[in-house]
Structure 1
Amino acid sequence: MSEAQTVEISLTQVGDYEFNVRFDGTAITELATDEPPPLGQGHGPNPSRLLATAVANCLAASLLFALRKFGNTPAPITAKARATIARNVDQRWRVPRIEVDLQLADAAASLEHLDRVLAQFEDFCVVTGSVRQGVEVDVRVLDPAGTVVSQHAGQGRGHDCAG
């Protein structure tokens, strides 16, 4: 794939810390997100849980892709992710670590070319590869008329933000 793709989502606040998420360009219904108490009501996963979900799901799908690439027809794969949420040196909450366990339903000996699968499947994972390198995040704040009132261009790991 040589062409860049864009994925869009839209959020609308419906409560204190609760948002409805729409996955634009798809037939997927809305997803509720919320912070757990005491900030929110826990009506859905919070962003840290969604990040862990994205990493685990992408790794599981990448493992499935790699297994099939080498002629396997694996039984369903399961995944479990554990995100550590801790304060950084500036005392801000961050996700410094995500641990993912991928569970095969098939015996390793029954899978063709498992050594090659395991050597390369993580390279197929868009989300994990992006998170590991650091992701540029550009942020704009707009007023009701659509005027930009704040703009911040973020660089990936190892770069300072430019404003």
Structure 2
Amino acid sequence: MSEEGRFTIRLEQQEGFQINVGFDWKRAPDLIMDEPPPLGEQSGPNASRLLAAAAANCLSASLLYCVFKEEPPDNCLRAEATCIMVRNAQKRQRIGGLEVTLIVNELVTASPRFARCKTLFEDFCVVSASIRQGIPLRVTVQNEQGVILHQSE
């Protein structure tokens, strides 16, 4: 379940604000991301939606793994992720918070492991635990020849 080390996701702008995301897993299909109007055509999720989905997916997988290990029953969990958008002091839009609700059925709650897992699973979710702590981010802009044009501190 863990991912040690590093991995690289490749993104390529198609047209307008549509970005094709190519994953490092051969069996994972590419994903088109886009922005809502007036910038884009909303032909795929934007980054804020993927962040909310990533947090909800990670929490779901962590709970299922804790309760059932490798073989969770089908259709025993649903999740809802709400992303709260705010403006900072400079009037720039930011994610002010995420609210994730996991909706489990009786197969989950009847498991003897559920009582213990409901107090543990959040700590094992890589994404939500990282978001809570803040994630260091280094940004580099370079041209096609590899010359660095900008690098964040």
TM-score by length of 2: 0.90
How many residues align? The count is 152
Task: Give SS of 1:42's match.
Answer: coil
Residue 86 of structure 1 aligns to which amino acid in structure 2? V
Matched, 1:148 2:148: yes
Aligned to 1:78: 78
Contact 2:76 2:107 in 1 (8 A): no
Contact 1:75 1:104 in 2 (8 A): no
Contact 1:75 1:106 in 2 (8 A): no
Deviation at 1:143, TM superposition (A): 1.0
User: In 2, Cα distance between the equivalents of 1:73 and 1:21?
Assistant: 30
Contact 1:67 1:73 in 2 (8 A): no
Deviation at 1:109, TM superposition (A): 5.3
Give 5+ residue unaligned stretches, structure 2.
Answer: none
Task: Give SS of 1:138's match.
Answer: coil
Contact 2:77 2:105 in 1 (8 A): yes
Task: Give SS of 1:117's match.
Answer: helix
Task: Give SS of 1:149's match.
Answer: strand
Aligned to 1:61: 61
Contact 1:19 1:32 in 2 (8 A): yes
RMSD: 2.3
Deviation at 1:94, TM superposition (A): 0.6
Within-5 A mapping of 1:13-162: 13-69=13-69, 76-106=76-106, 110-152=110-152
Cα deviation digits, residues 10-63 of structure 1 (max 9, x gap): 111011111000002432121000001111000100000000000000000000
Give 5+ residue unaligned stretches, structure 1.
Answer: 153-162
User: In 2, Cα distance between the equivalents of 1:94 and 1:73?
Assistant: 37
Over 3 Å counting, the alpha-carbon distance change for 1:61 and 1:87 in structure 2 is same
Aligned to 1:155: none
Contact 2:12 2:20 in 1 (8 A): yes
Matched, 1:8 2:8: yes
Deviation at 1:114, TM superposition (A): 2.2
Deviation at 1:86, TM superposition (A): 1.2
Residue 59 of structure 1 aligns to which amino acid in structure 2? L
User: In 2, Cα distance between the equivalents of 1:115 and 1:74?
Assistant: 20
Aligned to 1:157: none
User: In 2, Cα distance between the equivalents of 1:2 and 1:81?
Assistant: 23
Over 3 Å counting, the alpha-carbon distance change for 1:73 and 1:112 in structure 2 is farther
TM-score by length of 1: 0.85
Task: Give SS of 2:29's match.
Answer: coil
User: In 2, Cα distance between the equivalents of 1:136 and 1:109?
Assistant: 36
Greater mean alpha carbon deviation, residues 131-140 or residues 82-91? 82-91
Residue 50 of structure 1 aligns to which amino acid in structure 2? L
